[in-house]
């Protein structure tokens, strides 16, 4: 079994889109907004986006959360597990949730519900990639980097069995 990775979105395209996203998002972030990054997949996206947001002179706080769905195949089971909850109090604060890929919608729908449960005010969501054709739970992100077809992608933080996260571009994984 050989694995090949076909480039889908280049470093330069990602870079340009991240700059544009920061410009779109910045005016919506009230002082004290907690930016919650979903680990591990969104870590590179978040680090690039946050450094762009820094150019907009905001007062934001960073936190992280790790969720996983029960079962470990490429299909989401719809049942989510909190592996690590965020540490900051989000009660009465705005939250910006960052994730790598919006696929079935189960993860972000759960994360939004969880933030609401913790008492967050306005909750905004931003994903690097959206695969609308795969939705199981109706969900629309407020900000989307790229809309892509139903392909399994890796790189720029996203993995295949923990490999390829370090790639600076997004590639389509072929077996």
Within 10 angstroms of residue 3's Cβ, the number of other Cβ atoms is 11
Considering only the stretches 11-19, 55-63, 112-120, 149-157, report the one whose residues sit in contact with ligand 5GP under the rule CB under 6 A: 149-157
29 CB contacts (<8 Å, ≥6 apart)?
Answer: 53, 58, 60, 94, 96, 124
Considering only residues 20 through 49, tell me which ones interact with ligand 5GP, judged by CB under 6 A.
Answer: 41
Closer by beta carbon to ligand 5GP, 52 or else 159: 159
- Which position among 103, 130, 150, 159 bears the catalytic label? 103
Closer by beta carbon to ligand 5GP, 94 or else 99: 99
Q: Is 171 in the site for ligand 5GP (CB under 6 A)?
A: no
d(CA 173, CA 25): 30
- Three-state SS for 107-166 is HHHHHHHHHHHCCCCCEEEEEEEECHHHCCCCCCCCEEEEECCCCCEEECCECECCECCC
Q: Is 97 in the site for ligand 5GP (CB under 6 A)?
A: no
Shortest reach from residue 15's CB to ligand 5GP, in Å: 20
Q: Is 5 in the site for ligand 5GP (CB under 6 A)?
A: no
Q: Is 104 in the site for ligand 5GP (CB under 6 A)?
A: yes
Within 10 angstroms of residue 120's Cβ, the number of other Cβ atoms is 21
**Pair 160, 170: CB distance under 8 Å:** no
* Annotation marks residue 103 as catalytic: yes
Partner from Mg ion, ligand 5GP, none contacting 33, C-beta within 5 to 8 A by type? none
**Pair 66, 91: CB distance under 8 Å:** no
Q: Is 101 in the site for ligand 5GP (CB under 6 A)?
A: yes
Within 10 angstroms of residue 81's Cβ, the number of other Cβ atoms is 11
Interface residues toward Mg ion, by CB under 5 A? 41
Catalytic residue list = 103
Q: Which residues are near ligand 5GP by CB under 6 A?
A: 41, 76, 99-107, 152-154, 158-160
């Amino acid at each position: 079994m050989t694995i090949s990775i076909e480039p889908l979105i280049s470093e330069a395209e990602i870079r340009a889109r991240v700059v544009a996203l920061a410009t779109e998002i910045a005016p919506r972030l009230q002082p004290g907004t907690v930016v919650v990054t979903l680990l591990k997949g969104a870590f590179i996206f978040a680090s690039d986006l946050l450094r762009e947001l820094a150019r907009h002179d905001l007062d934001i706080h960073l936190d992280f959360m790790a969720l996983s769905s029960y079962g470990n195949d490429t299909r989401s089971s719809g049942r989510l597990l909190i592996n690590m909850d965020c540490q900051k109090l989000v009660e009465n604060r705005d939250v910006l949730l960052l994730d790598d890929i919006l696929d079935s919608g189960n993860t972000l729908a759960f994360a939004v519900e969880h933030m609401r449960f913790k008492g967050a005010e306005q909750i905004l969501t931003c994903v690097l990639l959206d695969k609308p054709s795969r939705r199981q739970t109706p969900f629309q992100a407020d900000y989307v980097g790229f809309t892509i077809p139903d392909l399994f992608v890796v790189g720029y933080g996203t993995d295949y069995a923990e490999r390829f996260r370090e790639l600076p571009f997004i590639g389509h994984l072929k077996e």
